[in-house]
């Protein structure tokens, strides 16, 4: 009797859990579905109140219009280059800095690390004006370099990889010295490979952040051909009216490469998000 | 030639923490020397100074005829085995062992030959393609030894290499390391806090406390003639019994009074050393195996009550109370007395050690 009542309450808990999770899933997926549905509607349908959920007929012209109004090939390329360079530089510099902060002894180490932490605590928006001035004075506005510039060094990456290096026992580095390594060899032959899971996490984090970065690309590159997907799409928003179906069609096109990448690297994405505490 | 010499070596860490104040030590070529002592005694720091992993604050350290104070670890011709093995987790056993040889840019076939020789000697051949995480503790330790072996170093440094192993494996590895030393004929410096390892493996034991060498001698001499109370208590398990005793002298014969009994001292003891202590209280030391326990009623020097009887298999450790003084006696497992019984104890007067109560230095053995 007792066992059956216990089994019943367990069932109820399971049902409630699934309902809550299902609701959460719907809330998360809804904007995505709405984007797909809106991308196939007419402008009138997209503005209708009460809203119509399904389009009366699928409007593929929205995709044609989006492709016609934006240089998607350039935008894909710019975004890809920005992501690749930001990831390469963030990983390279953060690894070296993180290793130095974790394993080397030098004067002023704690003060320098404090400055790195301080940079993490400040909102990135306050750096935009000085960074723009630097890029503009270098004559590098409207270039790939301009897109990559603020991501060359990552304070978060430095902090994150410092923690990873601190988790490696000192004896491993010492064994490498005794085996004949110099400082550099010890770093790249022994220590760096041991942080591979953290580096993968930082790669995902940096790539996702760069992909979604809107403000900096919008500020620094005003030439449509040098824009990234996020900043290019932002130009589709008008001051007085917006063609939402075309905007949604463009957004869907912009999302496609990331979705495909996610399908291939799902495990690494989830691990990366879990390790960095990102979202 | 790989002798090691410390000449007035001092090691002070930032913040003025002196770990080794003034170390003078000579380790001969091909010798197996054990540095032993409690945690924080400076033994690992001493080893790390030999390795070049710690800077020397002052003094000179020689490996062979060369002062190596400022020589990089890789140029000292040494190899070190760490307590936690320090294997490279991302490399296979083969690559771990070959790593140092690859850095030296030796020919591939030479590397392969040396790795396979070491693997064969350490029974690792079937594990060469595995990563360290797929190995047991003992196998990892053997890989660490192999990594050190293939480099043919002049000096082997071992920092508590067995402390992460279980008791059975530790015994097996102890003899394996001893065999390795005999085979390689190289200088071995071995750090441990385990006095059983120290006693069974080394040609010579250096007992350290607070960065100062307490005694530097062969295992047998250390056991039979400890130079002070610390060494006497540190070496031996169960440790030596210490009792307050008063030295008396009657007609040229010296005796000690303990627990209300008078026990004559061996005629072999140095009378000149004993003379200044006549009538004074000293510390009498005697090892558990040098006291004979008999059932109550038998003739003996002392009567004591058995508080705990620990059966060890072949023998039994009796924890006794003798008028408030605590004693441990090692008796045969056939000893009939059990907890709560009285026992008659006879001290082997040839094995009594006497120590100055204030300076803690040995007076006579």
Q: Please tell me the distance from the alpha carbon of residue B284 to that of residue A227, in angstroms, as a whole number.
A: 89
Per the CB < 8 A criterion, the answer to whether B205 and B34 are in contact is yes
**pLDDT tens per residue, range B185-226:** 899 999 998 888 889 999 999 999 999 999 999 999 999 999
B299 by DSSP, 3-state: which? coil
The CATH number fitting domain A70-235, selected from 1.10.540.10, 1.10.3720.10, 2.40.50.140, 3.30.470.20? 1.10.3720.10
Phi (first) and psi of residue B21, to 5 degrees: -80, -45
The answer, yes or no, to whether residue A2 has pLDDT greater than 60, is no
What would the two tokens of residue B21 be?
Answer: 């104040």
**What pLDDT score was predicted for residue A239?**
66
Task: Tell me which chain B residue has its CA closest to the CA of residue A197.
Answer: B90
Phi (first) and psi of residue A273, to 5 degrees: -65, -40
Please tell me the distance in Å from B93's CA to the nearest CA on chain A: 14
**pLDDT tens per residue, range B143-166:** 999 999 898 899 999 999 888 888
**pLDDT tens per residue, range A39-65:** 888 888 888 888 888 888 877 888 888
Cβ within 8 Å, pair A171-B86: yes
- Compute CA B29 distance to the chain's CA centroid, rounded to the nearest angstrom: 20
Per the CB < 8 A criterion, the answer to whether A202 and B113 are in contact is no
The two beta strands, B302-311 and B241-250, are: unpaired
Tell me the average pLDDT across B129-134.
94
Burial (0-12, 13-18, 19+ Cβ within 10 Å), B79: buried
Cβ within 8 Å, pair A178-B74: yes
Q: Please tell me the distance from the alpha carbon of residue B24 to that of residue A185, in angstroms, as a whole number.
A: 35
Higher pLDDT, A114 or A52: A114
Chain A residues with beta carbon closer than 8 angstroms to that of B99: 176, 179
Task: Tell me which chain A residue has its CA closest to the CA of residue B104.
Answer: A180
Query: Is this structure's pTM higher than 0.90?
Result: no
Other C-beta atoms lying within 10 Å of the C-beta of residue B326: 13
Cβ within 8 Å, pair A171-B83: yes
- Tokens 């065999």 found at: B179
What would the two tokens of residue B114 be?
Answer: 């040396």
**What pLDDT score was predicted for residue B323?**
87
Chain B residues with beta carbon closer than 8 angstroms to that of A171: 82-84, 86
Chain B residues with beta carbon closer than 8 angstroms to that of A174: 51, 53, 73, 80, 82, 86
- Tokens 């020589």 found at: B71
Phi (first) and psi of residue B83, to 5 degrees: -60, -45
Q: Quickly state the pLDDT bin for A276 (edges 50, 70, 90).
A: low
Per the CB < 8 A criterion, the answer to whether B300 and B292 are in contact is yes
Mean pLDDT of all residues in chain A?
Answer: 88
**What pLDDT score was predicted for residue A3?**
61
Chain B residues with beta carbon closer than 8 angstroms to that of A194: 88-90
Per the CB < 8 A criterion, the answer to whether B245 and B231 are in contact is no
**What pLDDT score was predicted for residue A53?**
81
- Tokens 């001092």 found at: B10
Please tell me the distance in Å from B74's CA to the nearest CA on chain A: 5
Q: Please tell me the distance from the alpha carbon of residue A201 to that of residue A161, in angstroms, as a whole number.
A: 10
The sheet with strand B4-13 has its strands ordered as B17-27, B4-13, B58-63, B66-67
Please tell me the distance in Å from B215's CA to the nearest CA on chain A: 29
Per the CB < 8 A criterion, the answer to whether A236 and A70 are in contact is yes
**pLDDT tens per residue, range A208-247:** 889 989 899 999 988 888 999 989 888 887 766 778 888 8
- Compute CA A117 distance to the chain's CA centroid, rounded to the nearest angstrom: 20
Helices A244-264 and A72-103, interaxial angle, to 10°? 50
Q: Please state the domain extents for chain A.
A: 2-60, 70-235
Q: Please tell me the distance from the alpha carbon of residue B164 to that of residue B168, in angstroms, as a whole number.
A: 12
**pLDDT tens per residue, range A245-266:** 888 999 988 888 888 888 888 8
The answer, yes or no, to whether residue B168 has pLDDT greater than 90, is no
Write the secondary structure of chain A as one string of H (helix), E (strand) and C (coil).
Answer: CHHHHHHHHHHHHHHHHHHHHHHHHHHHHHHHHHHHHHHCCCHHHHHCCCCCCCCCCCCCHHHHHHHHHCCHHHHHHHHHHHHHHHHHHHHHHHHHHHHHHHHCCCCCHHHHHHHHHHHHHCCCHHHHHHHHHHHHHCCCCCCHHHHHHHHCCCHHHHHHHHHHHHCCCHHHHHHHHHHCCCHHHHHHHHHHHHCHHHHHHHHHHHHHHHHHCCHHHHHHCCCHHHCCHHHHHHCCCCCCCCCHHHHHHHHHHHHHHHHHHHHHCHHHHHHHHHHHCCC
Q: Quickly state the pLDDT bin for B267 (edges 50, 70, 90).
A: confident
Of the candidates B136, B212, B141, B221, the residue with the CA atom closest to the CA atom of residue B176: B141
Tell me the average pLDDT across A61-76.
88
Per the CB < 8 A criterion, the answer to whether B351 and B342 are in contact is no
**What pLDDT score was predicted for residue A1?**
52
Mean pLDDT of all residues in chain B?
Answer: 92
- Tokens 């399908």 found at: A263
The two beta strands, B325-332 and B187-192, are: unpaired
Q: A178 and chain B: CB distance < 8 Å anywhere?
A: yes
**pLDDT tens per residue, range B285-296:** 999 999 999 988
What is the percentage of chain A residues whose pLDDT exceeds 70? Answer: 95
The two beta strands, B17-27 and B32-36, are: unpaired
Torsion of Cα atoms, A94 then A95 then A96 then A100, to 10°: 100
Chain B residues with beta carbon closer than 8 angstroms to that of A182: 74
Tell me the average pLDDT across A7-33.
93
Other C-beta atoms lying within 10 Å of the C-beta of residue A101: 21
The reply to whether ipTM tops 0.90 is: no
Per the CB < 8 A criterion, the answer to whether B33 and B190 are in contact is yes
Show the DSSP H helices in chain B as ranges. Answer: 43-51, 93-103, 108-121, 137-149, 167-184, 195-201, 219-224, 229-234, 271-274
Task: Select the residue from A107, A171, A179 to test the B interface by mutation, using most B Cβ atoms within 10 A.
Answer: A179
Q: Please tell me the distance from the alpha carbon of residue A254 to that of residue A69, in angstroms, as a whole number.
A: 14
**What pLDDT score was predicted for residue A114?**
95
**pLDDT tens per residue, range B97-107:** 999 999 999 99
Burial (0-12, 13-18, 19+ Cβ within 10 Å), B18: middle
Start-to-end CA distance of chain A, whole Å, equals 46
Tell me the average pLDDT across B36-48.
93
Other C-beta atoms lying within 10 Å of the C-beta of residue B254: 20
What would the two tokens of residue B336 be?
Answer: 């009939």
What would the two tokens of residue B313 be?
Answer: 């298999």
Q: Which residues, at least 6 apart from B220, have a Cβ–Cβ distance to it below 8 Å?
A: none
Q: Please tell me the distance from the alpha carbon of residue B308 to that of residue A223, in angstroms, as a whole number.
A: 90
Per the CB < 8 A criterion, the answer to whether B236 and B223 are in contact is yes
Q: Please tell me the distance from the alpha carbon of residue A234 to that of residue A232, in angstroms, as a whole number.
A: 5
B259 by DSSP, 3-state: which? coil
Tell me the average pLDDT across A64-76.
89
Question: Taking a contact as any Cβ pair under 8 Å apart, which residues of chain B between 94 and 123 contact chain A?
Answer: 99-100, 103-104
Question: Per-residue b/e over A175-195, b at no fewer than 16 CB within 10 Å?
Answer: bbbbbbbeeebbbebbbbebb
Cβ within 8 Å, pair A175-B84: no
The answer, yes or no, to whether residue A279 has pLDDT greater than 50, is no
């Amino acid at each position: 009797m007792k066992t059956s009542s216990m089994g019943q309450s367990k069932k109820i808990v399971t049902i409630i859990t699934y309902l809550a999770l299902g609701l959460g899933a719907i809330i998360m997926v809804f904007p995505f579905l709405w984007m797909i549905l809106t991308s196939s509607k007419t402008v009138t349908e997209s503005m209708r109140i009460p809203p119509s959920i399904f389009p009366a007929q699928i409007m593929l012209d929205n995709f044609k219009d989006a492709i016609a109004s934006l240089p998607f090939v350039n935008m894909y390329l710019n975004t890809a280059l920005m992501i690749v360079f930001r990831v390469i530089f963030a990983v390279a510099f953060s690894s070296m800095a993180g290793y130095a902060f974790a394993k080397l002894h030098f004067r002023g180490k704690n003060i320098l690390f404090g400055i790195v932490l301080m940079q993490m605590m400040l909102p990135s928006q306050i750096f935009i004006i000085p960074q723009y001035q630097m890029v503009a004075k270098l004559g590098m506005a409207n270039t790939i370099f301009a897109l990559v510039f603020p991501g060359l060094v990552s304070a978060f990456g430095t902090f994150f990889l410092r923690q990873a290096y601190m988790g490696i026992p000192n004896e491993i580095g010492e064994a490498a010295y005794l085996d004949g390594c110099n400082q550099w060899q010890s770093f790249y032959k022994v220590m760096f490979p041991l942080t591979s899971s953290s580096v993968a996490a930082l790669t995902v984090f940096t790539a996702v952040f760069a992909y979604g970065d809107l403000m900096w690309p919008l500020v620094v590159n005003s030439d449509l051909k040098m824009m990234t997907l996020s900043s290019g799409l932002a130009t589709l928003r008008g001051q007085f009216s917006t063609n939402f179906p075309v905007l949604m069609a463009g957004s869907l096109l912009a999302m496609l490469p990331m979705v495909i990448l996610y399908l291939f690297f799902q495990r690494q994405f989830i691990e990366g998000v879990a390790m960095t505490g990102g979202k | 030639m790989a002798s090691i010499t410390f000449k007035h070596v001092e090691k002070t860490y930032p913040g003025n923490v002196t770990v080794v104040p003034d170390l003078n030590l000579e380790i001969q070529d091909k010798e197996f020397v054990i540095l032993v002592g409690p945690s924080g005694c400076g033994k690992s720091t001493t080893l790390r100074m030999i390795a070049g992993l710690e800077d020397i604050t002052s003094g000179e350290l020689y490996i062979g005829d060369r002062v190596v104070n400022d020589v990089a670890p890789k140029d000292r011709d040494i190899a070190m085995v760490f307590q936690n093995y320090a294997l490279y987790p991302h490399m296979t056993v083969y690559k771990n062992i070959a790593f140092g040889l690859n850095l030296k840019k030796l020919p591939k076939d030479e590397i392969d030959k040396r790795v396979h020789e070491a693997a064969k000697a350490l029974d690792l051949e079937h594990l060469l393609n595995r990563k360290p995480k797929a190995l047991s503790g003992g196998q990892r330790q053997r890989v660490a030894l192999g990594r050190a072996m293939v480099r043919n170093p002049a000096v082997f440094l071992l920092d508590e290499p067995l402390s992460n192993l279980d008791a059975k494996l530790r015994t097996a590895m102890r003899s394996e390391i001893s065999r390795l030393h005999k085979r390689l004929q190289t200088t071995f410096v071995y750090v441990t806090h385990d006095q059983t390892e120290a006693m069974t493996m080394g040609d010579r034991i250096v007992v350290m406390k607070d960065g100062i060498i307490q005694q530097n001698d062969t295992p047998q001499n250390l056991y039979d003639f400890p130079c002070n109370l610390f060494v006497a208590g540190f070496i031996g398990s169960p440790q030596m019994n210490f009792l307050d005793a008063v030295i008396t002298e009657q007609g040229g014969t010296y005796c000690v009074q303990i627990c209300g009994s008078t026990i004559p001292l061996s005629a072999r003891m140095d009378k000149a050393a004993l003379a200044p202590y006549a009538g004074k209280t000293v510390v009498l030391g005697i090892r558990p195996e040098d006291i004979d326990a008999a059932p109550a009623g038998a003739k003996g020097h002392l009567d004591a009550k058995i508080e705990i009887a620990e059966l060890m298999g072949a023998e039994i450790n009796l924890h006794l109370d003798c008028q408030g003084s605590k004693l441990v006696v090692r008796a045969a497992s056939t000893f009939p007395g059990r907890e709560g019984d009285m026992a008659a104890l006879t001290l082997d007067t040839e094995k009594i050690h006497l120590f100055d109560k204030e300076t803690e230095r040995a007076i006579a053995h």
